[in-house]
Structure 1
Amino acid sequence: MHPATIVLLSFLLTILVGALLLKLPISSTSEPLSWLDSLFTATSAVCVTGLIVVDTGEAFTFFGQCVILFLIQVGGLGVMTISVALFRWFGRTLSIHQHVVMQNLFTHTPRKDIYHLLRSILFFTLGFEAVGAVLLTLHWSGEFPFFKALWFGIFHSVSAFCNAGFALFPDSLMRYDLNLLLNLTVCGLIVAGGIGFPVLYEFQSLIFARSKKRVRLSLQTKTVLLTTAFMILAGAGMYAYLERFTLPTNEPLSHWILIPFFQSITCRTAGFNTVDFTKLHEATVGMMIFLMFIGASPGSCGGGVKTTTFALLTAFTINRIQRSRRVNMFKKSIPTETVTRSVSLVLLSIGIIAVVVFMLLLGDPSNTIEADGAHATFLEYLFETVSAFGTVGLSLGITPNLPNWDKGWIILTMIVGRVGVLTFSYIVVGSGTTNGVEFSEENLMIG
């Protein structure tokens, strides 16, 4: 079985088990969820998306919330990571396919020490989540009884690090929009979970290296860090400019910066929000769609086409304008195959989003140009689709009211976004390469 198929099947199996558990009466505070809503919630949790059709804090019991938290953790780490950990725990060795899957998921260069990499992944995950849980528990201990504050701290810490965006409040984190401790803690967890395990692993190697001179940051790490910093700062600056009339001008400067900073980080992958997105300017919504499309970094808990793809295509465009034959980044030449894959990834992603938006529009036959405000607009459908594809979880409020047809397409989009477009395409059309037939060349006008 191809490694890509193993990844997809592992996610699908986890989703089905999660849907069955969420369907149980013990999971709901009132009437059990419908099968479709249970499947939607389980998919959103495993794919660490955060789109919801019911209020997580109100509709689910403690057992149901534990199920969601477990699905988020499994989805964030990756089902194969958990499987390999269990194999190691019971003394079994990895098969060749499992080794290849782990290699493709978390490394950009061949490695033999997969088990050491796995230990590092688990260490970073549990370490960041534990620190986040302590800080968030301290925050909520003054508002709730200790055990409730502890549960809220654990749940939101895992949800933030895994870039899931599930919250136990009906308004996400809007009530804490100017709380410095909570905002910085959540933002730190989101960034740590979104820059990718390969980067964290490389930092670990750098910190514990005997000779600092021998360890240099790889092209992957440099690109991820620079692009992530640029996206955060550019996104925050654009948000502050576009929403300059709605920001709290009577608050200290640090608080005035906090809201744009938080939205810039969360809208690329996490799905928490501290403002009402339905009241944002359409230009702001458009900017957020672009950020959601880019998403997190490779080997992370987030989705999207990834920061490295954005950086590579930017470098490719600049190099083509300069008439350079090769794509160069940080004094390194990028293989042509990698450039081709990045272009294919973006084009396939745009195509998938376009098809899904079209299908969502078909789901409501009465949604015409002259329809009243009761119908979702094209921008709302586009926002929802890109949010699902990028496993972000932000919404303009239309998710709970989507018809079953539309929910089905959103479920499929979340799965494709989490597994990966190229991985999914390998499953559909196969990953074997063929030389094909080579014909004589003829030029074609473009542009």
Structure 2
Amino acid sequence: MKRIIKPFKWVKINPAQTLSLGFLCLIGLGTLLLMLPFATKDRHHLSFIDALFEATSAVCVTGLVVVDTETTFTLFGQIVLMVLIQVGGLGFMTFGIIIAIVLGKNIGLKGRLMIQESLNQLYIEGMVRLVKFVVGFTFIIEGIGAVILAIRWSHDFGFPKSLFYGLFHSISAFNNAGFDLMGEFRSITGYVGDPTIILTLSSLFIIGGIGYFVILDIFKKKSWKKLSLHTKLVLLMTLILNLLGTVLIFTLEYNNPGTLGGLSSLKDKVLGAYFHGVVPRTAGFNTLNLPELTLSSQFVTILLMFIGGGSGGTAGGIKVTTFFILILAVWTVLKRKEDVNIMNRRIPKDLIFRAFSITVYSTAVVFLILFILTITENAPLNVLLFEVVSAFGTVGMSLGLTPELSTPGKVIISLLMFIGRVGPLTLAFALAKENKKLPFKYVEEKIMIG
């Protein structure tokens, strides 16, 4: 009797692979929906590449667009984008777990591991409780933001339109997406001196960008001394980077007639500098004319976009804790100390290695994509670098290159947005073959470095 060979069998996939495939499926669904004729106002469907780019930007909460959102998409298309932003920001696993909870299903170990990977948490315990908190907190904060924005915009657009505008921009801001409905790629430049719009949007994307673990830790501990080291570092680094960004932009752009120099009052200049100082980490809205920024301000913006926000939130970049650990590790080496210590705590060496790995891997990805774009695109190097870091950091700011990208350029930037949202190391883990641990160690030998 011949042996029956099964042509197919289930392949086990790890949480990193599940997360990556989930985002790909969501992007594919969004692409198909945005290609529908009634998704666009002229009833002519988007090309596959443009729809793919828009869907990737929404799911990866980036905000780079090749077509203007307000003038191109119908209400249906705008709702599709809003839903993609919401699901992409929270993570499809979060929604999957909530649906399972509503249906009365038990969440097994595999589900908890995928939540841990999705929300970038250190420990597996309390994952279901964290998901419930994340969803509830998100909807409450987005609702408050939507009401404030709707009331403010009711004076400009009338009640029905202002309500949708408030909801769309609140979801876009909290999830650090940067999509807007202002038309003609203007973002919110017309509201540079409006404290209600500026402070509401900035509060939304700062809260969304610091990470859900930090928010939950604050709610539970309610005391600075009791907060975890992670929460303290995220809050301190966020405050420092926001203040530093604001001061630098205010100083560098104060006399620039194309940006702050063209504003009449000191209040408008302060609000303009503040918003641009905090928005690169990583919301994507802009109140200043980005192509008019000085080279120094562009450099500051690129650095802030690369650093990003807090881990486990809606922000991108290498994350503020990664950046801080790098600085701390370098300082420790310079002081010739053995351990990396901060606030009477010692940082484990595996976290230091991981921080260096994330930074080196991210830098390599950025420069590789930059090199490719120098071949496919006809633009100055600073414009290309700005675009690449914006896509990698899922920021969504551009010096005007995005609508002018070639077809290969759109595909490359789409891929980079996906890498930035999933995380470079997560994607590497998903693609790499798992190696078995060796039962021995090789002989150690030193080499000269530096």
Instruction: Please report the TM-score for the alignment, with normalisation by the length of structure 1.
Output: 0.93
The whole-number CA distance in structure 2 between the counterparts of 1:181 and 1:109 is 37
Is residue 293 from structure 1 mapped to residue 306 from structure 2 by the alignment? yes
- Count of residue pairs the alignment pairs up: 432
Query: In 2, are the aligned partners of 1:72 and 1:158 still within 8 Å (CA)?
Result: yes
Is residue 222 from structure 1 mapped to residue 232 from structure 2 by the alignment? yes
Q: Report matched runs for 1:394-409 at 5 Å.
A: 394-409=397-412
Partner of residue 151 from structure 2, selected from 112, 116, 138: 138
**1:196 corresponding residue in structure 2:** 211
**1:369 corresponding residue in structure 2:** none
**1:184 corresponding residue in structure 2:** 199
Q: Secondary structure at the match of 1:313?
A: helix
The whole-number CA distance in structure 2 between the counterparts of 1:179 and 1:431 is 53
Query: In 1, are the aligned partners of 2:63 and 2:395 still within 8 Å (CA)?
Result: yes
Query: In 2, are the aligned partners of 1:348 and 1:421 still within 8 Å (CA)?
Result: yes
**2:448 corresponding residue in structure 1:** 445
Percent sequence identity is: 39
Deviation at 1:92, TM superposition (A): 1.2
Q: Secondary structure at the match of 1:142?
A: helix
Change (3 A) 1:224 1:177: same
Deviation at 1:441, TM superposition (A): 3.5
**1:352 corresponding residue in structure 2:** 365
Q: Secondary structure at the match of 1:51?
A: coil
Q: Given residue 425 of structure 2, which amino acid in structure 1 is its aligned partner?
A: L
Is residue 122 from structure 1 mapped to residue 125 from structure 2 by the alignment? no
The whole-number CA distance in structure 2 between the counterparts of 1:22 and 1:34 is 9
Is residue 92 from structure 1 mapped to residue 105 from structure 2 by the alignment? yes
Q: Secondary structure at the match of 1:141?
A: helix
Deviation at 1:436, TM superposition (A): 7.7
The whole-number CA distance in structure 1 between the counterparts of 2:262 and 2:373 is 39
**Aligned-pair RMSD on alpha carbons?**
1.6
Partner of residue 383 from structure 2, selected from 380, 383, 390: 380
Partner of residue 168 from structure 2, selected from 145, 149, 155: 155
Instruction: Please report the TM-score for the alignment, with normalisation by the length of structure 2.
Output: 0.93
**2:88 corresponding residue in structure 1:** 75
The whole-number CA distance in structure 1 between the counterparts of 2:46 and 2:108 is 39
Deviation at 1:249, TM superposition (A): 7.9
Deviation at 1:430, TM superposition (A): 3.4
Deviation at 1:107, TM superposition (A): 5.8
Partner of residue 390 from structure 1, selected from 389, 393, 398: 393
The whole-number CA distance in structure 1 between the counterparts of 2:274 and 2:38 is 39
Partner of residue 422 from structure 2, selected from 419, 422, 425: 419
Q: Secondary structure at the match of 1:117?
A: helix
**Structure 1 stretches lacking a partner, 5+ long:** 365-374
User: Over residues 83-140 of structure 1, what are the superposed CA-to-partner deviations in whole Å (9 max), with x where a residue is unaligned?
Assistant: 1111111111223222112123336442433222111101110011011001101110
Is residue 236 from structure 1 mapped to residue 246 from structure 2 by the alignment? yes
The whole-number CA distance in structure 1 between the counterparts of 2:162 and 2:241 is 33
**1:42 corresponding residue in structure 2:** 55
**Structure 2 stretches lacking a partner, 5+ long:** 1-12
User: Over residues 182-202 of structure 1, what are the superposed CA-to-partner deviations in whole Å (9 max), with x where a residue is unaligned?
Assistant: 000000001000000000111
User: Over residues 361-408 of structure 1, what are the superposed CA-to-partner deviations in whole Å (9 max), with x where a residue is unaligned?
Assistant: 1214xxxxxxxxxx3111111111110000000001111111111111
**2:270 corresponding residue in structure 1:** 257
**2:9 corresponding residue in structure 1:** none
